[in-house]
Structure formats: C-alpha cells, structure tokens
Structure 1
Amino acid sequence: MSREIDVLVLGGAGVDTIVYVPRLPLPYADSYMIEQGIRTRAGQTGDFVALGLAALGLRVHHLDLLGDDPEGDLVRALHEEKGIALTAIPQPAGTKRAVNLVGPDGRRLSLYDVSRSHPDDRFPETTVRTLAGASRHVHVAITQPAAHALPLLRESGTTVSTDLHDWDGENPYHEPFAYEADVVFLSTTALPNPERTMRRITERGRAEVVVATAGAKGAYLLTDDELTHIPPAAPPAPVVDTNGAGDAFAAAFLYGWLNRETPERAALYGTIAGAHACTVPATEAESMSREELLAVSARRS
C-alpha cells in the first residue's frame, strides 16, 4: 500500500490567546496593564506538532474539527501559510480555543474552553480510514473525537503515537490513548512516580517506547524494559516561553524514530527541539529546521 503521508496528525487544532503576565500565580487584582499586548494566534498541540514535523521535512496531513468562525479561519490560514495539508470537518460548536497566561520565566497556565467539543463528536470513519491508510504514522492528540478513532487506526496497520501531557497517571480519560499507542509521550509534572507510570503503560498497553519529559531536567526514556535519563539540551537563547516545548520534542523524536534512529538518538533530537522552542515567543509559529536540528545534534555527539 502506498504511504503518501509520513505523519497524519489527528486532532489538536485550535487557537490560543497569549497573555504575558507579571508573575504566576497571578495575585488577585481588579486589573492589570499588559505591556506586551494580548494576542490571539492559531496553534494548539496538534497544530504545533504538525508544524514541527513539516519543518523537519516530513509530509504531514492534519485532520480535525473546525468551526466556521474567525478562529477556524486563523487555523486554516496557518496551515496554508506553512504548506501543511488540512482536512477540516465542520464543528457547529466552534473552533477550540484557550487562554495561556505566561510568566516572566516562561512558565504558563492554560485555560481551555471545553464548550467547543462534545463527548459524542466523531471523525467520519471513511475519512479516518482513507488518511490512515495513506500514512506511515499517526500522531493522536488527546482531544475528542480522537479517542473514538483509535480502533480504526489500529485496523489500518499504521503505527500510532500520542502525548498525554500532564497526566497524573490516574485519570481514566487518558488510558485508551496510553494503552493503544506505540510511542507515548507525557510530562513528569503531575506524576508522583514517573517510572512506575511509564512501566504501567508498557505493561498494560502496546507501547514500545515511553518518553517522560522533565523540562530543564531533560527526559526519561523507557524502551526494552530499560529506563534511561536523557540530559537536557542548553537553550540557544534566553528562555522566554515554554508553550509548545513538548510538541517540539514530540515532533523531533518522531522525526528520528521514523528515520530508524535509536530511541536514545530520537530523544536527543527531542531535547534539542524542545529547548529551542523555549526561546521562541508563543505569539510566533516558528519551528526548528532539520538543518538546525542535525547541526546541533552533531555537536553533542
């Protein structure tokens, strides 16, 4: 079967409003003056994974529900500008959106508008089967209706990855994603015992690789029953914003993994791209290029 798409990104399209605040947590006050402006731009987790993969030279297709609204127009325009194929299924509830509060040290607090989705949302089965059948790999965002598409993806024979983000290891919503993916990314942020959760994912699911990102501490890689610490990469410039760092990590890891690099090498790519993303303001949609990634990784070898 011809695989014309390297990575199909399923879900995670939307719009964020970025607000740079004096500090986090933000103390109560009647009002704050926001000197850097309040900006709305296209780009949530699926969008940024797609952008990162495309910047690394992979053929990417993005599938999600979008509203017929100004926010949906921003998402469509971003994909057109970056040359990324987009299949947008009409979403009567509107395009997903969020507000990200960003502190001076780059940390963020995200406020997600969950009114833009419904548990019964579905992707058309024919669309999923057709696109998955043409793809080498599918990366699934943990948004509705991607959960309902997981059995169809497994039937297609393609490999699957997902990012559980700040899963606490207990919320049952994340479990179908965790146990149906071949490559699982997650953050250590909410995990009291990251290794225990990582091993449970491999024991109960089908993952051959689990990666837990740990911010400035690097990442932890579990493969072949061995846990390895991946040292952090030095950011090439001052850290200004951590928005999108996990998405950049996932995109660079998948680039290495799909090119048959070792998991350790793929994780090295991830730390480099994640560090780079922390130096880019969230108001910009700039991903690390393949040339930059390979040059930096060569210096670290």
Structure 2
Amino acid sequence: MSRDIDVLVLGGAGVDTIVYVPELPLPYADSYMIDSGIRPRAGQTGDFVAAGLSSLGLRTHHVDFLGDDPEGDLVRALHREHGIALTAIPQPAGTKRAVNLVGPDGRRLSLYDTSRAHADDRFPEDTLRTLAAAGRHAHVSITHPCTHALPVLREAGVTLSTDLHNWDGENPYHEPFAYAADVVFLSAAALTDPERTMRRIAERGRAEVVVATAGADGAYLLTDGVITHVPAVAPPAPVVDSNGAGDAFAAAFLFGRLTGEPPHRCALYGAVAGAHACTVPSTETDAIGRDELLERAASFEALKSPKAS
C-alpha cells in the first residue's frame, strides 16, 4: 500500500489570543494597558507540530474539528500559507480557542475555552482509516476525540506519538495516550519524580522512547531502559516566548526518527528546534527549516566533541 503521508497529525487545531503582560503571575488590577496589542492568531499544539514537520520537509496532513467561523478561517489560512494538507471536520460548537498570557521572560499562562467541544465528538471512522492507511506515522494530540481514534490508528499499522504536555503523572485522562504511543513526549514541569513517571510509561505501555522536556534544563530521554540527560541548546537570539517550544521539539524529534537517526540525535534535533521556537514571538509562525536544523545540530556536536590534541 502506498503511504504518501509521512506524518498524520490528529487534533490540536485552534486559535490563541496572545496578550503580552508585564509579569506573571499577573497581580490583580482593575485594568492593564497592553501597548503591544491583543492579537488572535491560528496555532495550537497540532497546528504547531504540523507546521514544524512541514518546514522540515515531511509530508504532513492535519485532521481536526473546525467551526464555520472566523477562527476556523484563520486555521485554514495558516495551513494554506504553509502548504499543509488539512481535513477539517465540521464542528457546530466552533473552533477551539484559548488566551495566552506571555510574560517578559517568555513564560506563558494559557486559558483554554473548553466549550468548543462535545463528549460525543468523534472523527469519522472512514476518513480516519483512509488517512491512516496512507500514513507512516501519526502524532496524536490529547484532545477528547483522539482518545477514540487510538484503536483505529493501531489497526492501520502506523506508529504513534503523543505529547502529554504538563501531565502530573496521576490524571487518568492521559493514560490511554501514554500507553498507546511508541514515542511519548511530556513536560517535566508538573512531575515530582520524572524518572518514575517515564519508566512507568515504558513499562505499562508500548513506548520505545519517552522524552521529558525541562525547559532551560534540557530534557531527559528514556530508551532501552536507560535515562540520559539531553543538554539544552543556546537559543540563536533573545528568548521572547516559550509558546510552541515543546511542539517544535516533538516535530524535530520525529523528523530525526523518520529519517533513521538514533534517539540521542533525534533529541538533539528537538533541543535545537525548541531553542529556535523560543526566539519567535507568539504572534508569528516561523518553524525551523531542515538545513538550519542540521547546521545548528552539527555545530552543537562539534562544540561538545573532544578537542584533538
């Protein structure tokens, strides 16, 4: 069977409204003057992963629910501009949206509008089977409809990845994703014992690789039963926004995996792409390209290799 999609991205399409605030947490006040503007832009986790994969030259197809509304139009336009194939399932409740408060140091606080979905939302099975049959790999967002898509994807024979984001290691909602995926990404931010959680994912599920990102502290990689530290890569410009850094890491890691690189090289690619994303304002979409990724990764490795005597 012909597989002309490198990565099928499920879920995570939506619009964020970006507000740059003077500090986080934001102290209570009757009002704040936001000189930089308050701007909606297309791009939630699935959009960012799809854009990152496409920028690295992988044939990418994104499928999710979108409303017939201005927010949905922004998402459709983003995919057109970046040449990303999009299958939009009609969502009468409207396109998903959120508000991101971004502090001067690039940290963010996200407020998600959960009213744009229904408990009975499901991807049409025929559509999902057709797309999965054409794909090599599927990256699954942790939105509700994707839970029910996991068995169909498994039956189609594609490998799976997911990002658990700031999972605390206890919330049962995340477990179907954690235990179904071959590659699991998550943030270490809410974990009291990252190693214990990473090993539990590998022991109870299918994961060959588990990656816990830790911001400026780098990341931790579990593969073949061994956990190693992945050092952070210095950003090529001042850090302005951490929004999308985890998605960039995942996209570059998957690029490495799908092009046959070993896990540690994949993690280096992720670190390079994540550092790049931190230099891009939330109001823009500018994923790192393949040539730039490979060049920066090679430069980092050269700096870390022992000097010849």
* Corresponding position of 2:32: 32
Query: 1:57: Cα distance to partner?
Result: 0.3
Letter in 1 for 2:113: D
* Corresponding position of 1:293: 293
Query: 1:122: Cα distance to partner?
Result: 0.1
Deviations 1:88-137 (A, max 9, x none): 00001000000000000000000000000122110000011000010000
Give distance in 2, aligned partners of 1:17 and 1:119. Answer: 25
* Corresponding position of 2:133: 133
* Corresponding position of 1:59: 59
* Corresponding position of 2:3: 3
Give distance in 2, aligned partners of 1:118 and 1:228. Answer: 40
Secondary structure of the corresponding residue to residue 250 of structure 1: helix
Deviations 1:236-290 (A, max 9, x none): 0010000000000000000001111000000000000000000000000110000
Letter in 1 for 2:109: L
Secondary structure of the corresponding residue to residue 295 of structure 2: helix
Letter in 1 for 2:22: P
Secondary structure of the corresponding residue to residue 279 of structure 1: coil
* Corresponding position of 1:49: 49
What's the TM-score, normalizing by structure 2? 0.97
Deviations 1:147-185 (A, max 9, x none): 100000000000000000000000000000000000000
* Corresponding position of 2:306: none
* Corresponding position of 1:219: 219
Letter in 2 for 1:134: A
1:85-96 to 2 correspondence within 5 Å?
Answer: 85-96=85-96
What's the TM-score, normalizing by structure 1? 1.00
Give distance in 1, aligned partners of 2:50 and 2:87. Answer: 13
Letter in 1 for 2:146: A
Give distance in 1, aligned partners of 2:183 and 2:13. Answer: 21
Query: 1:300: Cα distance to partner?
Result: 1.6
Give distance in 2, aligned partners of 1:142 and 1:43. Answer: 16
What RMSD, in angstroms, separates the aligned Cα atoms of the two structures? Answer: 0.4
Give distance in 2, aligned partners of 1:70 and 1:299. Answer: 43
* Corresponding position of 1:242: 242
Letter in 2 for 1:267: A
Deviations 1:52-79 (A, max 9, x none): 0000000000000000000000000110
* Corresponding position of 2:68: 68
* Corresponding position of 1:252: 252
* Corresponding position of 1:199: 199
* Corresponding position of 1:147: 147
1:151-170 to 2 correspondence within 5 Å?
Answer: 151-170=151-170
Give distance in 2, aligned partners of 1:70 and 1:35. Answer: 24
Count of residue pairs brought into register by the alignment = 301
2:101 is equivalent to residue 101 of structure 1: yes
The gaps in structure 2 that reach 5 residues or longer are 302-309
Secondary structure of the corresponding residue to residue 227 of structure 1: strand
Give distance in 1, aligned partners of 2:146 and 2:105. Answer: 33
* Corresponding position of 2:184: 184
* Corresponding position of 2:175: 175
* Corresponding position of 1:84: 84
Give distance in 2, aligned partners of 1:18 and 1:194. Answer: 30
Identical aligned residues as a percent: 78
Letter in 2 for 1:253: F
Letter in 2 for 1:221: L
* Corresponding position of 2:274: 274
Give distance in 2, aligned partners of 1:299 and 1:81. Answer: 31
Give distance in 1, aligned partners of 2:249 and 2:216. Answer: 13
Question: Would you identify which runs of 4 or more consecutive aligned residues in structure 1 move more than 3 Å?
Answer: none
* Corresponding position of 2:283: 283
Give distance in 1, aligned partners of 2:175 and 2:133. Answer: 24
Query: 1:144: Cα distance to partner?
Result: 2.0
